[in-house]
């Protein structure tokens, strides 16, 4: 009987020798071992843990059966039963019981296949020894004990298929030595015995292969289920986080949009009903300014939301032009300087070179700087400082660093502030407004420029935000061209 292992392997729905199976679960078609050593180790440990009670039961049963068959020695081989009993009771049975005892030792998992395989081999070797010493008819009948050993090795004590196959083939060969040379038996009996013993080995090997194949296939299915369960849990967690983000977004936007809209409606209502007389009255000028500034604030919020949405779907593009980054930073400082003075904060530009021309989108980069400066103003208490510097990096790129002496951010919370609609400070007491889009949007803008945005902060000791431009965006221009730019 020939066994086409690869065809059989494919028959059970597994790839043959596929080392690229997702997750590393490819199996060697001959040894039935996983190509990934870590997965093989884990399978061996889990399989042994489940098979241990079965191994113990069948080791005990093997020693008992091996001993009980000694009764046949007394009646079938009266002249040599003493040698048979010596083999059974002084050699094989004690070793089987010793192997049973080893299954309770902490080191057994590391030597399980060696112990179980040796037990099977010794049991078979005992049978062969009996056929070598037995007189008629034992020398031609006792081979049947090898069939029981083959059954045990192939199906009952959970030997690996490769180990079981090797043991069965070696025992089959040793039986030939006994039956042909050591204690010859008639050719017709030898032919009959080899036929049944050979069939037992072939069926045993096939059974062992299929059994182990199914066990490993079940392990793969279980592992896939575990991975799917983990994936479902991750997706559920993400869905819950998305749902929470949606709720946070609605809560934040409800507040951020309603507040300026109420102000616009309130001030415009005063003008509409002419509360202080005709519209030309000077009393309305401050309300017009309030309406204008509030509307600009509302526009900023809506612009941030729309820009972030475009960035999320990859629709936000940059209009590149050669711009002096120092001019842009200076403009942003002038925009927020009055607010800083009103809050009792000092602002300064430090380590500023004369000209640094970069290829960038001026509007978007300006939006980045204003977002970062606004955050620094918002979270720095009166009397604090906000400083900016421009530094050349070792790789030829440039970094704009904005440092404040504000409340800072805990290291564990830094990844969270880069998520949309999140304000870590709101976990404690929400004192400040904002959509929570400033930092995430600023980082996306920098990524569009091939750069990055990083935060270094210590809770209670201030924050430094580094806006990094790659060397590829640096433009070398003469003084005249720079001045024209």
Q: Residue 16: its pLDDT value, please?
A: 43
Q: What CA–CA distance (Å, rounded) separates 168 from 206? A: 12
φ and ψ at residue 394, rounded to 5 degrees: -65, -30
Q: End-to-end alpha-carbon separation of the chain, Å? A: 87
Instruction: Let me know whether 393 and 462 are in one domain.
Output: yes
Q: Is residue 263 part of a domain?
A: yes
Q: Is 377 exposed, middle or buried (0-12, 13-18, 19+ CB in 10 A)?
A: buried
Contact 364, 318 (CB under 8 A): yes
φ and ψ at residue 359, rounded to 5 degrees: -85, 110
Instruction: Let me know whether 46 and 167 are in one domain.
Output: yes
Contact 33, 220 (CB under 8 A): no
Q: Which residues contact 378 (CB under 8 A, 6 or more apart)?
A: 432, 434
HEC sequence for 9-65 = HHHCCCCECCCCCHHHCCECCCCCCECCHHHHHHHHHHHHHHHHHHHHHHHHHHHHH
Instruction: Let me know whether 196 and 302 are in one domain.
Output: no
Q: What CA–CA distance (Å, rounded) separates 192 from 100? A: 35
Instruction: Let me know whether 35 and 91 are in one domain.
Output: yes
Q: Is 457 helix (H, G, I), strand (E, B) or coil?
A: strand
Q: Is residue 374 part of a domain?
A: yes
Q: Is residue 325 part of a domain?
A: yes
Instruction: Let me know whether 249 and 349 are in one domain.
Output: no
Q: Is residue 301 part of a domain?
A: yes
**Of 328, 327, 325, 347, which is closest to residue 337 (Cα–Cα)?**
347
User: What string of pLDDT tens digits covers the 485 residues of the chain?
Assistant: 444 444 544 554 444 444 344 556 888 888 999 989 999 999 999 999 999 999 999 999 999 999 999 999 999 999 899 999 999 999 999 999 999 999 999 999 999 999 999 999 999 999 999 999 999 999 999 999 999 999 999 988 889 999 999 999 999 999 999 999 999 999 999 999 999 999 999 999 999 999 999 999 999 999 999 989 999 999 998 888 777 766 766 666 665 666 677 777 777 777 777 776 676 666 677 767 777 767 776 776 677 676 666 666 666 777 889 999 989 888 888 888 888 888 899 988 887 887 889 999 888 888 888 889 888 988 899 999 999 999 999 888 899 999 999 988 888 888 888 776 555 554 333 455 555 677 888 888 898 899 999 999 888 888 999 999 999 988 875 543 444 44
Q: Is residue 238 part of a domain?
A: no
Q: Residue 251: its pLDDT value, please?
A: 63
Contact 267, 290 (CB under 8 A): yes
Q: Is residue 357 part of a domain?
A: yes
In which domain, by residue range, is 142 found?
A: 5-232
What CATH number should be reported for the domain holding residue 299? 1.10.287.130
Q: At what angle do helices 108-133 and 37-68 cross, to 10 degrees?
A: 40
Alpha carbon of residue 30 to chain centroid: 30
Q: Is residue 19 part of a domain?
A: yes
453: β partners: 467
The pairing of strands 452-458 and 462-469 is: antiparallel
Instruction: Let me know whether 354 and 249 are in one domain.
Output: no
**Sign for the pseudo-dihedral over CA of 71, 73, 76, 80:** negative
**Of 338, 421, 424, which is closest to residue 379 (Cα–Cα)?**
424
Q: Residue 478: its pLDDT value, please?
A: 54
**Of 10, 12, 6, which is closest to residue 218 (Cα–Cα)?**
12
* E-only strand ranges, 220-356: 321-324, 346-350
Contact 381, 407 (CB under 8 A): yes
Contact 372, 402 (CB under 8 A): yes
Q: What CA–CA distance (Å, rounded) separates 66 from 92? A: 8
Residue 21, token pair as written in the block: 């199976």
Instruction: Let me know whether 176 and 262 are in one domain.
Output: no
Q: Is 97 exposed, middle or buried (0-12, 13-18, 19+ CB in 10 A)?
A: middle
Q: Is 83 exposed, middle or buried (0-12, 13-18, 19+ CB in 10 A)?
A: middle
**Peptide bond before residue 137 is cis, with ω within 30 degrees of 0:** yes
Number of domains in the chain: 3
Task: Write down which residue in 312, 334, 361 finishes a domain.
Answer: 312
Instruction: Let me know whether 211 and 179 are in one domain.
Output: yes
Instruction: Let me know whether 325 and 262 are in one domain.
Output: no
Instruction: Let me know whether 181 and 277 are in one domain.
Output: no
- The single residue listed with the structure tokens 């020798």 is 17
Task: Write down which residue in 232, 258, 289 finishes a domain.
Answer: 232
Cβ count within 10 A of residue 299:
11
Task: Write down which residue in 232, 265, 298 finishes a domain.
Answer: 232
Question: 163-168 long-range CB contacts below 8 Å, 24 or more apart?
Answer: 163/113, 163/117, 164/117, 164/120, 164/204, 164/205, 164/208, 165/205, 165/208, 167/117, 167/120, 167/121, 167/124, 168/201, 168/204, 168/205
Residue 31, token pair as written in the block: 């040894």
Q: What CA–CA distance (Å, rounded) separates 479 from 357? A: 11
Q: Residue 485: its pLDDT value, please?
A: 42
Instruction: Let me know whether 202 and 334 are in one domain.
Output: no
pTM of the model: 0.57
What CATH number should be reported for the domain holding residue 325? 3.30.565.10
Q: Is residue 153 part of a domain?
A: yes
Helix (H), strand (E) at residue 448: helix 438-448
Instruction: Let me know whether 183 and 259 are in one domain.
Output: no
Cβ count within 10 A of residue 203:
16
């Amino acid at each position: 009987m020939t066994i086409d292992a690869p065809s059989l392997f494919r028959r059970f729905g597994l790839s043959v020798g596929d080392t690229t199976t997702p997750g590393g679960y490819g199996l060697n078609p001959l040894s039935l071992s996983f190509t990934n050593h870590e997965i093989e180790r884990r399978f061996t440990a889990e399989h042994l843990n489940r098979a241990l009670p079965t191994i113990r039961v069948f080791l005990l049963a093997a020693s008992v059966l091996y001993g009980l068959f000694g009764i046949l020695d007394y009646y079938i081989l009266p002249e040599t039963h003493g040698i048979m009993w010596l083999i059974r009771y002084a050699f094989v049975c004690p070793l089987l019981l010793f192997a049973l005892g080893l299954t309770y030792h902490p080191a057994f998992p590391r030597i399980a296949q060696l112990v179980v395989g040796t037990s099977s081999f010794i049991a078979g070797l005992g049978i062969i020894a009996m056929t070598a010493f037995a007189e008629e008819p034992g020398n031609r009948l006792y081979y049947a004990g090898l069939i029981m050993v083959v059954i045990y090795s192939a199906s009952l004590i959970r030997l690996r298929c490769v180990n079981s196959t090797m043991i069965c083939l070696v025992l089959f060969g040793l039986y030939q030595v006994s039956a042909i040379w050591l204690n010859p038996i008639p050719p017709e009996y030898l032919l009959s015995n080899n036929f049944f013993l050979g069939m037992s080995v072939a069926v045993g090997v096939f059974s062992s292969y299929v059994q182990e194949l199914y066990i490993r296939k079940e392990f793969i299915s279980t592992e896939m289920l575990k991975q799917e369960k983990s994936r479902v849990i991750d997706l559920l967690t993400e869905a819950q986080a998305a749902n929470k983000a949606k709720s946070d977004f609605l809560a934040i936007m409800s507040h951020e949009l309603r507040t300026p809209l109420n102000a616009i409606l309130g001030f415009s209502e005063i003008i509409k009903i002419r509360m202080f007389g005709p519209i030309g009255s000077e009393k309305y000028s401050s309300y017009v300014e309030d309406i204008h500034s509030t509307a600009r604030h509302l526009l900023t919020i809506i612009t941030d939301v729309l820009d972030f949405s475009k960035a999320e779907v990859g629709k936000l593009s940059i209009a590149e032009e050669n711009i002096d980054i120092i001019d842009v930073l200076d403009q942003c400082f002038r925009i927020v300087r009055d607010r800083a003075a009103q809050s009792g904060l000092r602002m300064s530009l430090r380590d500023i070179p004369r000209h640094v021309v970069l290829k960038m989108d001026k509007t978007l980069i300006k939006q980045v700087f204003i977002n970062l400066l606004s955050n620094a103003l918002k979270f720095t208490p009166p009397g604090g400082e906000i400083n900016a510097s421009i530094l050349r990096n070792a790789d030829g790129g440039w970094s704009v660093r904005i440092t404040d002496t504000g409340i800072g951010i805990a290291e564990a919370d830094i990844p969270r502030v880069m998520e949309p609609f999140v304000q870590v400070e709101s976990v404690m007491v929400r004192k400040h407004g904002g959509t929570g889009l400033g930092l995430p949007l600023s980082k996306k803008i920098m990524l569009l420029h091939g750069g990055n945005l990083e935060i270094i902060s210590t809770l209670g000791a201030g924050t430094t935000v580094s806006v990094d431009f790659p060397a590829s965006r640096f433009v070398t221009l003469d003084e005249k061209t720079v001045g024209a730019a």
